[in-house]
A = this chain, B = another copy of it.
């Protein structure tokens, strides 16, 4: 088998997509964070499946409990980005030989913890043997058709905002995998962001209710990727003028002589929401998110020019379409 050609994750998805016959009237485009089927005039069945693989998604110090919980969280995050409440989840497990009863219990407990944290339940699943640990989660929910926040609705002039600061997981992974330095309390927060990620479900549901959001995605492949995904789906561009780097990331970057922009834009395995918002409704959206205990940080605006640019201190540079991607990039 010639392997001179190395395929990236998106290339693979595009190749697969080209082989598939289209179902008529898909309510959600292939490639958005979730898929959907019509249930009746008003409602959609919203579906999502994504797998966590031991080798690529589980750093060595992560426990089985944490890995199982993360497999749930990363799927919930896609529902959060669309503003959809998950009703139930199914799990398909591929388990390596030699797991003990305690190991399997920990996986079950982690799955349950992830589900209950977001007020949903594991209602079924299946198991088989595999070399890697594989935890494939499938989510189901019901949503009003016009309440779904897709990737495709951003318009020039809209504001772009995020549900929190970025870069913590990129920094945390560097601590865990390459043993980089950080002050004890900073270290704790950065590592925690990797081992115990949180999906911004409350925020996504609150945003969906405001009808202020024109496009939305989560940031599981990094902030830069999320911006490019919305840009591509909406045929727009971005001018970012605030860098949502977390305080801890700035300190960590300084201590280790790293570029905080690199950590902030090109990380991944982060589950913040990246949304575009009608300017007149921005305050309403911000308040709605704050009312559920979250934050909505304005970082720039949508442009007609299909480029993703960063302007800080009067200097403009291009935000590249790269980030956390299996197959092609290294993890860190």
Q: Find out whether the CB atom of A49 lies under 8 angstroms from the CB atom of B128.
A: no
Q: Which residues of B contact A99 (CB under 8 A)?
A: 1, 3, 7
- Asked if A50 is an interface residue, CB under 8 A from chain B, the answer is yes
Q: Find out whether the CB atom of A45 lies under 8 angstroms from the CB atom of B45.
A: yes
Q: How many copies does the complex hold?
A: 2
Q: Which stretch in A108-116, A225-233, A236-244, A291-299 binds the other chain?
A: A108-116
Contact of A105 among B15, B37, B104, B132 (CB under 8 A): B15
Contact of A94 among B6, B30, B53 (CB under 8 A): B53
Q: Which residue of B lies closest to A74 (CB)?
A: B126
Q: Find out whether the CB atom of A94 lies under 8 angstroms from the CB atom of B132.
A: yes
Contact of A15 among B49, B104, B123 (CB under 8 A): B104
Q: Which residues of B contact A138 (CB under 8 A)?
A: 47, 49, 90, 92, 138
- Asked if A179 is an interface residue, CB under 8 A from chain B, the answer is no
- By size class, the interface of chain A is 35 or more
Q: Find out whether the CB atom of B132 lies under 8 angstroms from the CB atom of A130.
A: yes
Q: How far is the CA of A88 from the CA of B39 in the complex (A)?
A: 12
Q: Contacts A88-B47, A100-B2, A134-B134 given: A129-B55 contact, CB under 8 Å? A: yes
Q: How far is the CA of A52 from the CA of B122 in the complex (A)?
A: 21
Q: List, sorted by A's number, 9 A–B pairs whose CB atoms are closer than 8 Å.
A: A3-B98, A7-B101, A13-B126, A13-B127, A16-B107, A16-B111, A49-B49, A129-B326, A132-B134
In addition to A9-B128, A35-B90, 20 A-B residue pairs with Cβ atoms within 8 Å of each other are A5-B100, A7-B104, A12-B93, A12-B104, A12-B127, A19-B105, A21-B121, A37-B88, A37-B123, A49-B136, A50-B126, A51-B94, A51-B126, A51-B130, A90-B138, A94-B132, A95-B327, A129-B326, A130-B130, A134-B134
